[in-house]
Amino acid sequence: MQPDTPDAPVTERSRADRARRAWGPVLLLAALLLLAAELAGGPPPAAAQEVDAEQQLAIERQLLCPQCVNERLDQCARAICEDMRAIIREQLAAGTPPDQIIFFFRARYGDRVLAQIPREGFNLLLFGWVAGSLALVALGGGLALRRMRRSARRHAGAGEA
């Protein structure tokens, strides 16, 4: 075998040797970089993933599907709910607090997406109307019961005399 000189004919074996020598350090460097990246940014601990899953489920239970009637986000299988769950996962991964995530969906879809009606504004008037109606029915029922008892006592007293 002749030494590699510019005048020497190039053989297949000498080309392979040169290619191996040229790419060897590059491949070694790439492998080391991949190894360092894997060690530095390994998967998060299992406990942190569970906390995120619990937080995600808690947020999903506070939201309703915007297309269904009174179906919570954690139970609905529509595509829009899948998209909403993906947004919740992304925002939790970015460190967004749960209150801001719920506010995001409330701003996007309105109050109809909240599982619990907010007790503010016009809704407060509705809660007052319902509470007042229940109190009025209870008062009317109590007065009717009292009157029936008095009437029964009078009839019982008149029958004995």
pTM here?
0.49
Q: Are 83 and 108 in contact (CB under 8 A)?
A: no
User: Any idea what the CATH number is for the domain that residue 57 is in?
Assistant: 1.10.8.640
> Within this chain, do residues 100 and 54 fall inside the same structural domain, yes or no?
yes
Beta-bridge partners for 63: 114
Please indicate, yes or no, if residue 10 is contained in any of the structural domains. Answer: no
| Dist. CA 158–CA 161, nearest whole Å | 5
> For residue 61, what are the domain limits?
48-113
Alpha helices (H) along the chain: 12-40, 46-61, 79-93, 98-109, 122-160
Number of domains in the chain: 2
Task: List the chain pLDDT tens, one digit each, 161 residues.
Answer: 555 555 555 566 677 677 667 777 777 777 777 777 777 765 555 444 455 788 899 999 999 999 988 899 989 889 999 999 999 999 998 888 999 999 999 999 988 898 887 776 776 777 778 888 999 999 999 999 999 988 888 887 776 65
With a CB cutoff of 8 Å and minimum separation 6, the contacts of 104 are: 87, 91
